[in-house]
Amino acid sequence: MKPIAFITGATSGIGEATAKKLASNYFLVLCGRRKDRLDALEKNIRVHTDVHTLCFDVRDRKAVFDAVDSLPPQWQDISLLINNAGNAHGYSLIHEGDMDDWDAMIDINVKGLLYVSRAIIPRMVEKKKGHIVNIGSIAGIEAYLRGNVYNASKFAVNGLTQGMRMDLNPYGIKVSEIKPGLVETEFAQVRFKGDQEMSASVYKGMEPLLARDIADAVDFVVSRPAHVTIADMLVFPTAQASAAMVHRTA
Ligand code: NDP
Ligand code: 8X3
């Protein structure tokens, strides 16, 4: 019997790579909105470990709690929560921003993370055991031009991570944050609403991180001995030195 990991945003990018990486050591609860992707992933990973999928939108508070409540008894004892679901929506100056984009980023990246955490952490508290890994970002420690609300959402993840670690400290629950720099996933396609040229420009002339690089970081963070918590990990591609400084050859 393996411990159970609950991963949000498992249908692509960092979440999907993390699911694949953790499959040898965990049973997996994999979440996302795209049912076809969840089904394909389940089929793919089932040969390595037990998988349970949950299809819900993290913005929908009731759907989050219904999904977690729907877990069969053998899936309820979650040891590891990876709060990964999230995206940037838009790349506008603050006075030109689309307020639907703002709502999406606050509702998904901040409130969604909170709803999932609220649904899962009480059982960890009861058991006095567990580990929460929040996927933050370099965007959560440094703002950049046109990043505004996405930056704010990831600064919030950083604040919540610190607060969670304090609140959960008496219960022996680990809380970690991994903050990637540029990772080539569907992230840019979502931010630029399918504009391929704009998406490609994000990684032009530089070698970005791959989702599996962050999955490796997650694997390291969750495999430390019981007395060790990696509180915070910033991971850049070598070509990146800060949120806005990226060495490009083209
Ligand atoms: P992807 O777009 O590839 O993956 C995003 C994941 O989040 C998908 O599985 C998506 O699933 C899920 N998701 C998005 N919105 C919702 C929602 N409303 N409800 C449920 N699930 C949702 O991007 P990444 O893998 O790059 O992003 C993962 C995390 O990493 C995010 O938190 C992002 O902010 C962070 N990050 C990314 C960086 C990068 O450069 N790529 C750098 C730093 C941090 P579905 O659409 O099926 O719901
Ligand atoms: C994603 C990294 O720099 O595009 O969080 O904001 S960045």
Q: Are 158 and 136 a contacting pair, CB within 8 Å?
A: yes
Task: Measure CA 168 to chain center.
Answer: 20
Question: Is residue 247 domain-resident?
Answer: no
pLDDT digits (tens, 9 = 90+) for 154-205: 999 999 999 999 999 999 999 999 999 999 999 999 999 999 999 999 999 9
DSSP-based three-state secondary structure for 69: helix
Give the CATH number for residue 32.
Answer: 3.40.50.720
Among 14, 83, 137, name the best residue to mutate to test ligand 2's pocket (greatest count of ligand atoms within 8 A of Cβ): 137
Q: What is the pLDDT of residue 250?
A: 75
Q: What is the pLDDT of residue 61?
A: 98
Distances (CA, A) of 218 to 106, 115, 168, 223: 24, 22, 20, 8
Which pTM value belongs to this model? 0.99
Q: What is the pLDDT of residue 158?
A: 98
pLDDT digits (tens, 9 = 90+) for 42-76: 999 999 999 999 999 999 999 999 999 999 999 99
Question: Is residue 225 domain-resident?
Answer: yes
Cα–Cα dist 70/136, whole Å? 28
Strand pairing class (4-7; 27-32): parallel
Residue span of the structural domain in which 28 resides: 4-235
Ligand 2 interacting residues, C-beta cut-off 6 A: 137-139, 147, 182, 243
DSSP-based three-state secondary structure for 217: helix
The pLDDT of 236-246, averaged and rounded, is 98
Question: Is residue 203 domain-resident?
Answer: yes
pLDDT digits (tens, 9 = 90+) for 86-130: 999 999 999 999 999 999 999 999 999 999 999 999 999 999 999
Tell the residue number behind the tokens 């599996």, with chain if given.
212
Q: What is the spatial order of strands in the sheet that 174-180 belongs to? A: 51-55, 27-32, 4-7, 78-83, 131-135, 174-180, 232-235
Q: Are 152 and 111 a contacting pair, CB within 8 Å?
A: no
Q: Binning pLDDT at 50, 70 and 90, where does residue 233 land?
A: very high
Q: What is the pLDDT of residue 127?
A: 98
Question: Is residue 250 domain-resident?
Answer: no
120: which 2 tokens? 């899962």
Ligand 1 interacting residues, C-beta cut-off 6 A: 8-15, 32-34, 37, 57-59, 84-87, 108, 112, 135, 137, 180, 182-183, 185-187, 190, 211
Distance (angstroms) between ligand 1 centre and the Cα of 227 equals: 30
Q: Which atom of ligand 2 is nearest to the CA of 181?
A: 2
Q: Which of 108, 2, 109 is nearest to 45 (CA)?
A: 2
Question: Is residue 25 domain-resident?
Answer: yes
Catalytic entry in 26, 115, 150, 203: 150
The pLDDT of 224-228, averaged and rounded, is 98
Q: Binning pLDDT at 50, 70 and 90, where does residue 249 land?
A: very high
DSSP-based three-state secondary structure for 234: strand
Answer yes or no: 150 catalytic.
yes
Cα–Cα dist 9/12, whole Å? 7
Distance (angstroms) between ligand 1 centre and the Cα of 10 equals: 8
130: which 2 tokens? 């567990």
Q: Which residues pair with 32 in a beta bridge?
A: 55
In this structure, the chain runs to a length of 250
Domain count, the chain: 1
Q: Reply yes or no on whether the pLDDT at 223 is more than 90.
A: yes
Cα–Cα dist 143/131, whole Å? 28
219: which 2 tokens? 């694997």
Question: Is residue 249 domain-resident?
Answer: no
In angstroms and rounded to an integer, the radius of gyration of the C-alpha atoms of the chain is: 17
